Structure 1
Amino acid sequence: MSKKNLFIIATIFATGVLASCGDNDNKDSDNDQNQEQSQTTPDQDSPAQTITLADAKTPFEVRDAMGMGWNLGNQFDAHNNGKSSETAWSQPKATQTTFNKVAAAGIKTVRIPVTWMGHIGNAPDYKIEDAWLNRIYEVVGYAENAGLNAIINIHHDGADSKYWLNIKECAKNADKQAETVAKLSAVWKQIAEKFKDKGHFLIFETMNEIQDGGWGWGENRSDGGKQYAAMNEWLKAIVTTIRSTGGNNANRWLGIPAYNTDIDLSQYLVLPDDPANRLMVSIHYYAPYEYTLESQYSQWGHAAENGKTANYAQETECRTQMKKLLDRYVSKGIPVYIGEMGNVNRLNANDEKYRAYYFEYVTKCIHDNGMSAILWDNGVAKAGRESHGYFNHGTGEWMNSYSEQMIKVLVKAMTNKDADYTLQSVYNSIK
């Protein structure tokens, strides 16, 4: 999540289309009893706390194997003038020390977003530049050495339909669609071949937030499903390509995003046939964005003061949205992970209290519905809009005085198995 056209999102939410899912008077209307009604099935813990992705079979086992995650964001996904670069957006180069310290903080999974544009050759081979692919391989090795799971993907190549992964054009032009399917297949074949012997700690996430620039409210709403169909065809081709490379790719876990990684739009996702039965759905959650991304509000939840929190996406909607994923996927044996979630730095004690509560409640809700979560970190230490720094990307040191507290809260919400630690107890923890 970076450099996004949030004006578009602001316009969308100003219409109030989603407000009907929220709460009245900026408060959560639930009584204490209703906090426990977000699940249709009881939460299930893995039989062994040390379960790995290699052994995980159920969504709950996958959740526990992935644990709480962290994004090495605005790093390998960064790009300028049509070419990605690790330092394009002013980050230091990642090191083994970074990954060691992330692991020591209780993080179990590192998502490494990667933008490939500027490093891909011409048709028909679409050869990836060796130096770029080798650097990604090296950094995945940092995760392996630290005992972490790792996720790599195709990231900003599909941002806003501006670059080569252009969903808007593919939905309109069959030749463009065929060209894109060929390019995606060639790129993923090379990535898969490079990593085929890596263990099952490594997940391939097929792509990121594919959308046409309208963030889920663009032409996809009026084109008769053409964009969804085009994206589903991409996914089918990628899964087939990865599986065909053999080695550990024959049954490696693959992340499959919904359109715009959106919960509601996931209804249009058609999961490809997979003989290995090892697909997991990728969703992002930043609701309410005016609070988590824009910092227009300083508080969140039932204890917030009037006027200081958004009038939607409080506790009720969080539970409602996570239950949709439980019902649509988890209850049917399909793992889900929240590949990005976050809440910008505030750097004052009162506002940070509400940020910690947001993190704990949302993450606990994600956990209790059988899913894992991965925190967005773009390396920005200051407070305010788009400031999501926790670990220094070059050293692994804490970015500011609240970073350690927030990571501890997130890890607790994802891993604490105490019977007395419930969504209700989290709800009651703030007054």
Structure 2
Amino acid sequence: MRRKPIRLIAALVAVAAAVAAAFTVRTAFAEPETPKEGGAEQLGAEATVAAMQPGWNLGNSLDAVGEDETAWGNPRITAELLDNIEAQGFNSVRIPVTWSAHQEAEAPYAIDAAYLSRVQEVVDLALDEGLYVLINVHHDSWQWVNQMPTQHDAVLARYDAAWTQIAEAFVDAPPELVFENINEPQFADVSEEEGDALLDELNDSFHAIVRGSGGVNAERLLVIPTLHTSSDQARLDATAESIAALDDPMIAATVHYYGYWPFSVNVAGYTRFNEEVREDIVSTFDRVKATFIDKGVPVILGEWGLLGFDKHTGVVEQGEKLKFFEFLGHYAGEVGLTTMWWDNGQHLDRESFTWKDPELFAHVAGAWEGRSGTAYTDLVYVPAGEAPAAQTIPLHSNGLGFEGVWNGETELAEGTDYTVDETENLTLSAELLAGLAGDGGTGEQAVLEVRFSSGVPWKLHVIASAAPVAQDASGTTTELAIPVAFNGDQLATMEAVYPDGTAAGPHDWTAYKEFATAFKPDYEAGRIVIPEAFFAAMNDGSTVQLTFHFWSGTTVEYTLERSGTTVTGSAA
């Protein structure tokens, strides 16, 4: 179904009136109008948010900072893309929109008609697929809205003008379209409390403009973020007060969650999904539930994932990553959060419509229906060319029944190939591992599947490895490439200290450096790269001792020396 064309002239005329009227409307808000005839039935806020679960973000497209939606490397949005998203089981799509490059920076702050028409076209494509759709004001938050403390009137006028035009363009869109007033709101050089007050002012203005535009907008679901979309209790409380003051039942709150930060970026030795990382999910979601959901305000987790994915999806080891995604999806369902997975092109290939990591998506989707069993690790290292010992891996059945272990289509024999005790410890026999280890070569030799009564099977990668060997190297403070024979092993983290034991390199509060920032393994090229960011934080004329920690448990010592812009590396 198609929506009415954008009425740009009417929109521009409405800008001035709406901006002037917004402040009056805030203090004398009229009863919402009944949606226009022919529109879909409007569900309540809680039912609408529930119907949006699960959701997906169409990131780095219409929110790209530039002249075109392809500016950040993604292809033009098509009906086929949105059809595939719906077919994958998603019920909603968040379409971030950055308006800055397409809106005049001076009054009357008109939005380019062609761009507004394109946004409307994409929204229509998603609605036509039966998806709920959320649109917002996205990177404008840090491009110009953040200047509100020093340019209050100009920023507010531009913000009001933007929402006046957006509201007018979508006034007759069905209630499956949802408005989020601003993404990750932030304000320059003010306290958090002052930021809360400025955000409250934007919330009031947004609410007044949209509701005052009539039509379906009079009852459309509106989404209000916390400052920075933070889940800190003070920020939750401030937004709860702001929403309560609006006294509107068709409002939802939103926060973002990218995990416990050290784990999310792999720094400070947080290589595993441990109890501390798990508890951060629990405590965060419990706060959100107590502040909003328990009081009748539904919540959308507008973005979630791991921050390390901004570099590449291998920053966190695969099994540890999968445990994070499995548990987060499960616990979000427990507390009643609707989740909208952040994807800027890193997950779904938007040309082939295939998942770049099918195993990851399987765990994301599996959590929509229930739990999957996991284990302490997904890596089983055996010594290359040597007789392996039996290995024990603690399982986490997550309340499911254990079904067995498979090697491809072959079910392994319990009691011979493996045993499982009452505490869910899976022991793979020495005989089984010897048979899987191959002829002495290194690398992955087999992938076993631990199957449970439901959910996604847990994979165990049997890997033959020998001790990695690093070689001497020379380079500059721009980059040092250390030749490394990985011999089947994988790098977990890197430790860096000066001779007196103090931490060296970026993040001088920890000896364990950030993966893909202070060091980068390159398995195909056989090297570990120490980039400029590390040397920028290394004292000139100093010596630094590196310890490379590998997933097999092996460590390799290496020494760096810097003199001016020259760097040399020596293997132990």
Same fold (TM over 0.5): yes
> Would you say 1:207 and 2:182 are equivalent positions?
yes
Separation of aligned partners in 2, 1:135 and 1:363: 33
Q: Which residue of 2 aligns with 1:109?
A: 92
> How far apart are residue 346 of structure 1 and its match?
4.3
Could you list the per-position Cα deviations for residues 82-122 of structure 1 after superposition, in whole angstroms to 9, with x for gaps in the alignment?
x4531111111111100111111111111111110121125
> How far apart are residue 149 of structure 1 and its match?
1.0
> Would you say 1:239 and 2:207 are equivalent positions?
yes
Q: Which residue of 1 aligns with 2:353?
A: 396
Separation of aligned partners in 2, 1:294 and 1:212: 28
Q: Which residue of 1 aligns with 2:399?
A: 425
Q: Which residue of 2 aligns with 1:227?
A: 195
> Would you say 1:333 and 2:296 are equivalent positions?
yes
> How far apart are residue 293 of structure 1 and its match?
4.6
Q: Secondary structure at the match of 2:130?
A: coil
Contact 1:121 1:127 in 2 (8 A): yes
Q: Which residue of 1 aligns with 2:144?
A: 164
Q: Which residue of 2 aligns with 1:256?
A: 224
Contact 2:285 2:335 in 1 (8 A): yes
Contact 1:84 1:116 in 2 (8 A): no
Matches within 5 A, 1:348-367: 351-367=317-333
Q: Which residue of 1 aligns with 2:526?
A: none
> How far apart are residue 339 of structure 1 and its match?
0.3
Question: 1:300–1:58: structure 2 CA closer, same or farther, 3 Å change rule?
Answer: same
Question: 1:147–1:294: structure 2 CA closer, same or farther, 3 Å change rule?
Answer: farther
Question: 1:89–1:297: structure 2 CA closer, same or farther, 3 Å change rule?
Answer: farther
Separation of aligned partners in 1, 2:160 and 2:272: 45
> How far apart are residue 294 of structure 1 and its match?
6.0
Matches within 5 A, 1:46-125: 55-57=42-44, 59=46, 61-79=47-65, 83-125=66-108
- Structure having the higher Rg: 2
Matches within 5 A, 1:226-305: 226-264=194-232, 265-269=235-239, 270-271=242-243, 273-274=245-246, 276-293=248-265, 298-302=271-275
The structure that is strand-richer by fraction is 2
**Correspondence for 1:408 among 362, 377, 391:** 362
Separation of aligned partners in 1, 2:114 and 2:230: 34
**Amino acid aligned to 1:165:** V
**Amino acid aligned to 2:298:** P
> How far apart are residue 243 of structure 1 and its match?
0.7
**Correspondence for 1:375 among 324, 328, 341:** 341
Percentage of pairs with the same residue? 28
The structure that is helix-richer by fraction is 1
Aligned residues: 334
Question: 1:346–1:180: structure 2 CA closer, same or farther, 3 Å change rule?
Answer: closer
Q: TM-score, normalised to structure 2's length? A: 0.54
Matches within 5 A, 1:172-191: 173=150, 176-191=151-166
Q: Secondary structure at the match of 2:348?
A: coil
Question: 1:155–1:84: structure 2 CA closer, same or farther, 3 Å change rule?
Answer: farther
Contact 2:45 2:250 in 1 (8 A): no
Separation of aligned partners in 2, 1:141 and 1:110: 12
Contact 2:57 2:341 in 1 (8 A): yes
Question: 1:155–1:110: structure 2 CA closer, same or farther, 3 Å change rule?
Answer: same
Q: Secondary structure at the match of 1:204?
A: strand
> How far apart are residue 250 of structure 1 and its match?
0.6
> How far apart are residue 170 of structure 1 and its match?
2.4
**Correspondence for 2:134 among 151, 158, 162:** 151
Contact 1:77 1:84 in 2 (8 A): no
Question: 1:58–1:110: structure 2 CA closer, same or farther, 3 Å change rule?
Answer: closer
Question: 1:298–1:54: structure 2 CA closer, same or farther, 3 Å change rule?
Answer: farther
Separation of aligned partners in 1, 2:206 and 2:169: 15
**Amino acid aligned to 1:357:** K
Cα RMSD between the aligned structures?
Answer: 2.9
Separation of aligned partners in 2, 1:197 and 1:274: 23
> How far apart are residue 212 of structure 1 and its match?
3.8
> How far apart are residue 58 of structure 1 and its match?
5.9
Q: Where does structure 1 lack aligned partners over 5 or more consecutive residues?
A: 1-52, 303-311, 380-388
Q: Does 181-190 or 338-347 show the bigger shift?
A: 338-347
Q: Where does structure 2 lack aligned partners over 5 or more consecutive residues?
A: 1-39, 373-395, 401-423, 425-451, 453-457, 461-572
Contact 2:259 2:280 in 1 (8 A): no
**Amino acid aligned to 2:44:** K
Matches within 5 A, 1:5-44: none
Q: Which residue of 2 aligns with 1:386?
A: none
**Amino acid aligned to 1:240:** A
**Amino acid aligned to 1:266:** L
Separation of aligned partners in 2, 1:414 and 1:262: 24
Q: Secondary structure at the match of 1:365?
A: helix
**Amino acid aligned to 1:369:** V
